[in-house]
Structure 1
């Protein structure tokens, strides 16, 4: 497993810590108990967790900026591991099947996270403004990035969340602060990486990801996906794996397994019924692939999750 954490952050100055402390206070106010809370501002969420994770939780994360104001978390994409805490922020640029674990949280000092979902159309418009002469080509094009959470971005996130308690002002001012956050990201140290979302290859891979999400229970033909992306099969495979760290087939296999797990926990159905609902013909093949993905057989996994009270883990993709 490869770790892609950035170097440890230098100790924060009092001035730099102030926006983060304000953001933490606003997150605690907007997330009064454990869970994910949508605000009156579209795409802006406050997240709280009062205990560290007992295990890796699997789910699908949408394109978003996440800033941890308190606590710490590990995110895994394929065989790569990303660590982030209050000194860092994370950007997801595609719908990605990930596994995550909150490493640091308590009742006294809960995990608090700000999530800002990207509006892809508006992002594309702002990329043109921030990079009018074109985006520099980058050798690294992974669809998840970790970087230092700068004071300016953290301050803007706090101001945006503060507007959540002022709906009338939010309707007028929130779009401006959203644009500020995106522009600060684009003009920051990893702005060129974020701007890669506007590149045609990323848009094409995004179409393929959307198709796989909507048709995860159907047979995948790489030639048809390549046609959808207007790429050759080899080019699609190369760009897809570069962005997601997985092949299209690996990506597709993760989705029905996650959906089957959700169905078993939420509805109480057995593995045989769940496997059929997500498109498996062979129950034994489903059990093998489930155990390979989650580390244990479906029946044992359900017993363990229910005894630990982790039924809510299946919906985590909206909680991080």
Structure 2
């Protein structure tokens, strides 16, 4: 069986059921299936790999769409506020995708084995490419282990290491290598991103973030925008609005209270920016389930 065909079979089998379902099959590894196209849903994307086994997925970052179909993958190097949807899916040919978290501590040892020791000055936060047979093979072998606990204890770590190696040495290896470099540009920007996510409701001071990243404010601004495609203030706004959407669906508070909670001083500004981001008013999402795709 062709690796892509087997990947599709394994993803669909492990996801099970009908409709939209996402199943965590191993630590940091999940499979997702849906029998019909989905709406564009906001989410936070962490450093990860996503390979489409069947159908077409769209990931949108700052209004720029990245479409990738069966046999293609998306790699993300830092936490990014994105939106995602399945564009092509049906009962006969369900959308199917494999996802795996990319952890710095797992990537760092592999950097010692690569010939490239340079650190790009500017790099994007995500990229798409075609999955080679060398990458698909260890992914398929990893998913085979889900139902084989005895084999998994011995073979899982080797499969994961091989997947990471194929990424590190692949087309977007420079991007992936940044995840494992704690002292590289990506590591510095990632620290600033974590600070924004942790303190999203507080006033944002670019000078403080630049100091945390060990850069001048102007250099930090350039690198931050190169990675995320947005300014620090735009990034914070998207984090605030996504947190607000979750609170509107789950918290016992009115729209104005939630706006204040996520950092807005004006209920009218909160409502205006919420509508601009999601296409509906905050009151429309009150008490509604927020789907994560």
Number of residue pairs aligned between Structure 1 and Structure 2 = 289
Q: Is 2:103 the partner of 1:119?
A: yes
Structure 2 residue matching 1:37: 3-state secondary structure: strand
Q: Is 2:88 the partner of 1:91?
A: no
Residues 157-168 of structure 1 aligned to structure 2 (within 5 Å): 157-168=139-150
Q: Quick check: 41-50 or 64-73, which moved more?
A: 41-50
Choose the corresponding residue for 1:291, options 272, 275, 281.
Answer: 275
Give the CA deviation at 1:288.
1.2
Give the CA deviation at 1:138.
7.0
Q: Which protein has greater RCO, CA pairs closer than 8 Å, 6+ apart?
A: 1
Q: Is 2:188 the partner of 1:204?
A: yes
Query: Can you list the C-alpha shifts for 1:125-182, whole angstroms capped at 9, x where unaligned?
Result: 2122123x5137476x111010011111112111111111112321221111111011
Choose the corresponding residue for 1:233, options 208, 217, 242.
Answer: 217
Query: Can you list the C-alpha shifts for 1:172-223, whole angstroms capped at 9, x where unaligned?
Result: 2111111101111122222223223336111000101111111111111011
**How far apart, in 1, do the equivalents of 2:36 and 2:154 lie?**
37
Q: Is the 8 A contact 2:244 2:258 kept in 1?
A: yes
What's the TM-score, normalizing by structure 2? Answer: 0.92
Residues 259-270 of structure 1 aligned to structure 2 (within 5 Å): 259-267=243-251, 269-270=253-254
Q: Is the 8 A contact 1:130 1:183 kept in 2?
A: no
Choose the corresponding residue for 2:32, options 47, 52, 56.
Answer: 47
Q: Which stretches in structure 2 are left out of the alignment for 5+ residues? A: none
Q: Which stretches in structure 1 are left out of the alignment for 5+ residues? A: 1-14
**How far apart, in 1, do the equivalents of 2:96 and 2:79 lie?**
22
Residues 120-269 of structure 1 aligned to structure 2 (within 5 Å): 120-131=104-115, 133-135=116-118, 137=120, 141-197=123-179, 198=181, 200-267=184-251, 269=253
Q: Is the 8 A contact 2:119 2:185 kept in 1?
A: no
Q: Is the 8 A contact 2:119 2:184 kept in 1?
A: no
Q: Quick check: 217-226 or 260-269, which moved more?
A: 260-269
Partner of 1:57: 41
Q: Is 2:288 the partner of 1:276?
A: no
Q: Is the 8 A contact 2:246 2:290 kept in 1?
A: no
Give the CA deviation at 1:109.
1.7
Structure 2 residue matching 1:239: 3-state secondary structure: helix
Pair 83,138 (structure 1): closer, same or farther in 2 beyond 3 Å: farther
**How far apart, in 2, do the equivalents of 1:227 and 1:289 lie?**
29
Q: Is the 8 A contact 2:197 2:239 kept in 1?
A: yes
CA RMSD across the alignment:
1.9
Query: Can you list the C-alpha shifts for 1:208-266, whole angstroms capped at 9, x where unaligned?
Result: 11111111111110111111111111111101100110111111110111111112123
Q: Is the 8 A contact 2:37 2:89 kept in 1?
A: yes
Give the CA deviation at 1:102.
1.1
Q: Quick check: 206-215 or 188-197, which moved more?
A: 188-197
Partner of 1:38: 24
